[in-house]
Amino acid sequence: MKAFTTLTGLACPLDRANVDTDAIIPKQFLKSIKRSGFGPNLFDEWRYLDHGEPGMDNSKRPLNPDFVLNLPRYQGAQVLLARENFGCGSSREHAPWALDDQGFRVVIAPSFADIFFNNCYKNGLLPIVLAADAVDRLFRECAAAEGYQLTVDLAAQTVSTPAGQVFSFDITEHRKHCLLGGLDEIGLTLRHADEIKAFEAKRRGEQPWLFA
């Protein structure tokens, strides 16, 4: 998993509440479990004017010119601004995979659906909860200034605007530790590989019949 320390990145505003995981990555794309290649199908039904299916050449599909992700000013965005209850619906882990594959490292919203919120941390994506009035301000400033960037400092737990306004956010110490170190659940386990091997060797000696 990619570590997260600090990021200064272009913000992109998705001004819709209750965005569910089927909107983030539609169900027909869930056949793959490779964790990569989902970026072009992020928000597929809003992003394109036709119906998407796995295996299509997305470069030849008609784009929706009014969808925010297709606007030239937001190309390369790494911070997604969202509204309340982002990531509701089914528990598909493909949703954070698609956001990550598109290049997003941070999602800022007033609230998130619980399962999506947890899945973000497991995949190196930082979901930040800010008060609704703070998120409103970020939306207004982003709309008013092309090239609007936000700086996110995980160690300090802050989001800073170009004008110098600083917002603090909460995160548990465990989640913070894992993101700073780029440690998913497998990575955390592998840090104890020597202890696991020693335990297995001891168990083999004490209970050899289990390994016959």
Task: For residue range 72-83, list pLDDT tens digits in order.
Answer: 999 999 999 999
> Averaged over 25-48, what is the pLDDT?
93
Using CA atoms in the order 146, 104, 152, 137, what is the torsion angle rounded to 10 degrees? 50
Which pLDDT does position 33 carry in this prediction? Answer: 79
Phi and psi (nearest 5°) for 126? -100, 110
Q: Are 171 and 157 in contact (CB under 8 A)?
A: yes
How do residues 155-182 score in pLDDT, each as one tens digit?
A: 999 999 999 999 999 999 999 999 999 9
Locate the DSSP E strands across the chain.
Answer: 6-13, 79-81, 106-109, 126-129, 149-153, 158-160, 166-168
> Averaged over 39-58, what is the pLDDT?
96
Give the mean pLDDT of the chain.
94
Q: Which CATH architecture has domain 6-181?
A: Alpha-Beta Barrel (3.20)
pLDDT at 208 over 90: no
Structure tokens at 130: 């800010």
Distance in angstroms (rounded) separating the CA atoms of residues 23 and 27: 9
Which pLDDT does position 96 carry in this prediction? Answer: 97
Confidence class for position 212, pLDDT limits 50, 70, 90: confident
Which pLDDT does position 66 carry in this prediction? Answer: 97
- Ordered strands of the 6-13 beta sheet: 126-129, 106-109, 79-81, 6-13, 149-153, 158-160, 166-168
> Averaged over 189-212, what is the pLDDT?
80
Phi and psi (nearest 5°) for 50? -115, 180
> Averaged over 145-159, what is the pLDDT?
98
Which pLDDT does position 158 carry in this prediction? Answer: 98
Reduced to 3 states, what is the DSSP secondary structure of residue 93?
A: coil
Confidence class for position 61, pLDDT limits 50, 70, 90: very high
pLDDT at 11 over 90: yes
Which pLDDT does position 206 carry in this prediction? Answer: 85
How do residues 18-29 score in pLDDT, each as one tens digit?
A: 999 999 999 999
Residue owning tokens 């590989």: 193
Q: Show me where the domains of the chain are located.
A: 6-181, 183-212
> Averaged over 113-140, what is the pLDDT?
97
pLDDT at 88 over 80: yes
Locate the DSSP E strands across 50-93.
Answer: 79-81
